[in-house]
Amino acid sequence: MRKPSGRAGSVRIKTGAVGNPPLIAAVITGGVNAGAIKKAASLGAGLLELRVDTFTATQPGRLLASFEKLKKITKLPILLTIRSTREGGQAEIPDRERADLYHALIPFADLVDIELSSSGIRKNVVNFAKRAKKRVIVSHHDFESTPGDKKLNKIIESARKAGGDIVKIASMVKTQDDLKRLAGLLCSDDNLIVIGMGPLGKPSRVFFPMLGSLITYGSITGSTAPGQMSLKEMQTELRRYGF
């Protein structure tokens, strides 16, 4: 099997300033599917988020073969995510196995996402990714509510201390005040991905990149969060505003 080359420098992430089209991650679930990958590219995805926790086959050997296949299908950068069930993951993968999967697959990735709450393996995964010269997203997901300002700022501070080059905050939006509070993070901090989940959070997926949120997400093979749009729907919305 060919040894994957490091491509950390190939991901160009810019803040959503006027004139910069938002960077959309096409969320790939179920496995590496050539049709889904090509569809993502044709719809303008800037990178692929491979949600390995949703894959039907998670044996290391089969995953390595899939990631090797992926390199032959596309040149899009890869965001590696093996989400814990505590924060929306679909498969109950023990932490030790999850860490082993990260170690095996990080060489194929450009970005790595690990939850702040994954304290048992987070330091190990972050350090391994840094040694491999990959950028790290330390993420926090709250599927029940949006925390207050004080807690949100504490989460961001903790995620940066944990080694996050980028901090991702995704929380359930129940009121317009929740949405405003999340937007406020982008007015006071940099290198953030901020997403409001649920029906009231949908506007955040289109407009927050224009405030500086680094990545927005669109599904290809299946939604992985409440309110997540398909990539096609996302592009339709963005075109309304000149992107």
Task: List the catalytic residues.
Answer: 141, 168
Cβ-count burial 91-101 (b if 16+ within 10 Å, e if not): bebeeeebbeb
Q: How far apart are CA 93 and CA 118, in angstroms?
A: 12
Q: Which one, of 236, 227, 217, 170, lies nearest residue 28 by Cα?
A: 217
Are the CB atoms for 206 and 238 separated by under 8 Å?
Answer: yes
**Alpha carbon distance, N-terminus to C-terminus of the chain:** 40
The string of DSSP codes covering 176-239 is HHHHHHHHHHHHH-SSEEEEEESGGGHHHHHHHHHHT-S-EEEESS---STTPPBHHHHHHHHH
Name 161's Cβ contacts closer than 8 Å, sequence gap at least 6: none
Q: How far apart are CA 88 and CA 225, in angstroms?
A: 8
Q: How far apart are CA 226 and CA 105, in angstroms?
A: 27
Q: Which one, of 13, 160, 170, 149, lies nearest residue 79 by Cα?
A: 13
Beta-carbon-side half-sphere exposure of residue 149 (alpha carbons within 13 Å): 10
